[in-house]
A and B are shown apart, each in its own frame.
Chain A
Amino acid sequence: MADTTATPTTMPAVGGGSGGQGGDGKLVETTLVKWHFLMGIAFLLVSMLAGLLYSMQFLQHYPLKGIAIFSPGRWRFVHTNGVAYGFIANVFLGMLHWVVPRLTLRPVASRALSYFIFFTWQGVLVATVVGLLLGEAQALEWGETPVWIDPVALLGLILVAINFFVPMMKTTGPMYVTMWYFMAAFVWTVLVYAMGNFLPEYHMNGVAAGAIGGLFIHDLVGLFVTPLGWGMMYYFVPIILRKPIWSHGLSLVGFWGLAFFYPLNGIHHFLYTPIPMFLQYGAVISTIAVELVVTTVIVNFFMTLRGSGDQLRTSIPIRWFYTGMVFYFTTCLQCAFQTTLTFQKIIHFTDWVVGHAHLVMFGVFGFWLLGLMVYLLPRVMGRDRWYSESLHEWHYWITAISMLIMFFDLTIAGLIQGYMWRDLAPWEETLRASAPFWLVRSISGTAMIFAQFIFAYNVLMTLIGKRAKQPAGEVSPASQEGYATA
């Protein structure tokens, strides 16, 4: 439906070609992109509401007490898995269906396969949620998916890789930066998922399985979400800013540094465990190395922005992207410190880590994906503009501010908990001290969810083709340029 409209499919330089509409097939299956995005938004809302529900338990006011399928612990599974596999994976899949055909100038291997993956993936997600709510989780963070789903999910990931590898392999010569990240991510995701979901369950046990578990939870962020996210940045930032990335050399450093150091980090999740100490030191050092690599990437992107800083004001997607990058640098810097044994003494097991996790998953990758959808949704829905520009402002500012509040709130709470524990305060006292921070967490979370509903409303109204009344002059031409360039 979307392909018949005036929505432009050409992109300057990087996208290549005049939309590449060849033969019977379209280059980009925009309907599929749209549905991946819409499902991603749906899962984002569900997952965030699950998180809010769970956080009510910390206020001693859980609304659905005493009902097994509303067990707070089970809804925590839904929160984390829903965000990772429902929101992030769905939106990434939509993004890949847009970017890969444009970069390779070839459609994906099979459009039927794409739709098959889409429906299978939603089925896997629903089955996961149902399985988790029935209490069939596995004891591996982000690998809680019930055992009978693991092989299906792995098969799905392999199919995704094949579907995108076919157009990628047909290209010749050196690849663009985005393709390095995507290609590596496809390989890594399959390997990481297989490693994390099968080894600790069936082949390893005890401390050795703990090391694998650490690799899994870290690699899922570092080798699935991060490379897809950065590949996306290397594609969309130059397009929107209409200029190339500042330094190709730094792009090389960033990719290869990440590829080498990131997979070595996993054990830093389990410092001071019976895992051999020299491996713990190795994980700490490579984590700090990652921070150095990250700095080169951030420098590269901010030098790219140099001279176009006004876009932060006028282009909502660029604003989301660069806010995410600031948060990315923040979390990575934080990580370089918190991974040291000194910091671990205090902050491990505390809410500090929870704050860190939220800043990474939502503050960085969530923000990037929201920016992506602001940029692409009108195009894939066949609209030339959004229902409302001002709702984007509300969405951005409420989300960003509440994200910051939640981050600082949980970080401070973590420090207080850590020091109280070290000082052997009675456990009950540490709970009393944490209570106000948990309240602030729930409030900031509510604001965050509210903002996403604003976004969802904007999407819905754009989808059904409405337009809000805009006061004259409120929308600058540059802002329009950010969405639907003619």
Chain B
Amino acid sequence: MLESKSGVFFIAGLLFFGIAFIVMGALPYTIYRGIPEESVSDLITKHGIVPEFVELAEKFPDRFQEYFGECDAKSFEAALRRGHRVYIGEGCWHCHSQFVRPISKESSRWGPVAHAREYNNELQRPVLFGTRRVGPDLSREAGRRSNDWHIAHFFKPTAVVPTSVMPEYAWFYDDDGLPNRDGMAIITYVQWLGSWIDEYPYYLGEGPKGAGDVEPVDLDAVE
């Protein structure tokens, strides 16, 4: 049996793989089946439009109108989807994770630990946990930095962060140097990531907009 064709084919090939798939794949699926998958419009209904998207519409009225139309739930949904696609197509997820672990003081740096609920939506299909952090985790990035910061940063990261090794995304900009459709979409997407989180750790003074007057945490007191 151990050296026969049927043994290898059925036991090693099908049975063992099947066992592993049931235990390691189907089991978590059944466990989380109770959390319904949310579509993008569900998410928008639940959490609203991020203020940064509105700001983009106010700051660049003409091109916003051209690329997205009116600033409403529909155009926000279109921008999120497009931003998500750009995020995947450019391989952003190879260098930026989207989950905060409950260890190594990660919640002090990034914010609340990741929760299963946050991933059951259309924009996590396939899930964007990530496996490498060349750049920071982005799952709690919303509102942490301003639109202006992102516009400068996507164009030339080293202009904002001198040691940055992030690529320059010149094709996110029109000839006049202002963000085009992809540029505004990726900024919308990044400013949306974690916008459903109430609290930030205010690590090194960085927090959601309006948090500038909050004192940075005393790092020695953490953990």
Contacts and interface: CB of A to CB of B under 8 A. Distances in A.
B28 A279 contact: yes
Interface in A66-112: 66-68, 71-74, 76-77
A19 to B, nearest CB: 25
Given A65-B168, A180-B8, A187-B17, A206 B129 contact: no
B115 interface: yes
Given A139-B126, A183-B9, A353-B131, A256 B88 contact: no
B170 interface: yes
Nearest to B94: A76
Given A138-B88, A183-B5, A215-B21, A210 B94 contact: no
A283 B121 CA distance: 26
Interface string B1-37: 0111100110111101101110111011101110101
Nearest to B102: A272
A345 B104 contact: yes
Contacts of B128: 139
Interface in A176-218: 179-180, 183-184, 186-188, 191-192, 195, 199-201, 204-215
Contacts of B177: none
Given A184-B12, A256-B12, A350 B28 contact: no
A143 to B, nearest CB: 8
A66 B171 contact: yes
Most buried by A among B5, B37, B127: B127
B48 interface: no
B13 A206 contact: no
A141 interface: yes
A213 B24 CA distance: 11
Nearest to A197: B126
Given A180-B8, A426-B204, A211 B24 contact: yes
Given A180-B12, A188-B13, A205 B121 contact: yes
B17 A223 contact: yes
B75 interface: no
Contacts of B27: 276, 279
B89 A210 contact: no
A460 interface: no
Interface stretch (A40-48, A167-175, A323-331, A392-400): A167-175
A169 B5 contact: yes
Interface on chain A toward B: helix, strand, loop, or mixed SS? helix
B131 A215 contact: no
A76 B37 CA distance: 31
A274 B114 contact: yes
Interface string A227-263: 0000000000000000000000000100110011001
- The winner among A58, A272, A350, A428 for most chain B CB atoms within 10 A is A272
Interface stretch (B49-57, B63-71, B145-153, B157-165): B157-165
Given A58-B165, A195-B21, A431-B163, A207 B16 contact: no
Interface size class of A (residues with CB under 8 A): 35 or more
Contact of A215 (B20, B124, B127, B135): B20
- Chain B, interface residues (CB within 8 Å), range: 35 or more
B211 to A, nearest CB: 18
B35 A431 contact: no
A432 interface: yes
A3 interface: no
A428 B134 CA distance: 11
B125 A205 contact: yes
B167 interface: yes
A73 B94 contact: yes
A64 to B, nearest CB: 10
A279 B108 contact: no
A207 B128 CA distance: 10
A223 B31 CA distance: 26
A73 B13 contact: no
B103 interface: yes
B214 interface: no
Contacts of B95: 73
Interface string B112-142: 0011100111101111111111111000000
Contacts of A207: 28, 32, 116, 119-120, 127
A260 to B, nearest CB: 5
Contact of A209 (B16, B127, B131): B127
Contact of A175 (B8, B23, B126, B161): B8
A421 B101 CA distance: 12
Contacts of B101: 272-273, 348
Contacts of A59: 165
Contact of B3 (A180, A209, A272, A353): A180
Given A204-B29, A354-B132, A174 B37 contact: no
Residue among A187, A204, A418 with the highest chain B CB neighbour number at 10 A: A204
Given A206-B120, A208-B28, A282-B23, 5 more contacts: A60-B158, A200-B126, A205-B122, A259-B16, A266-B25
Interface of A: 57-60, 62, 65-68, 71-74, 76-77, 135-141, 143, 168-169, 171, 174-175, 179-180, 183-184, 186-188, 191-192, 195, 199-201, 204-215, 223, 252, 255-256, 259-260, 263-264, 266-267, 269-270, 272-276, 279, 282-283, 345-346, 348-350, 353-354, 418, 421-422, 424, 426-428, 431-432, 435, 438
Pairs of residues from A and B, 8 with the lowest C-beta to C-beta distance, nearest first: A73-B91, A187-B13, A263-B20, A135-B89, A206-B119, A66-B170, A274-B116, A174-B3
12 contacts: A58-B134, A65-B167, A67-B171, A71-B171, A180-B3, A183-B8, A188-B17, A207-B119, A279-B23, A279-B27, A348-B101, A349-B131
Interface of B: 2-5, 8-9, 11-14, 16-17, 19-21, 23-25, 27-29, 31-33, 35, 37, 86, 88-95, 97, 99, 101-105, 108-109, 114-116, 119-122, 124-136, 158, 161-165, 167-171, 203-204, 219, 222
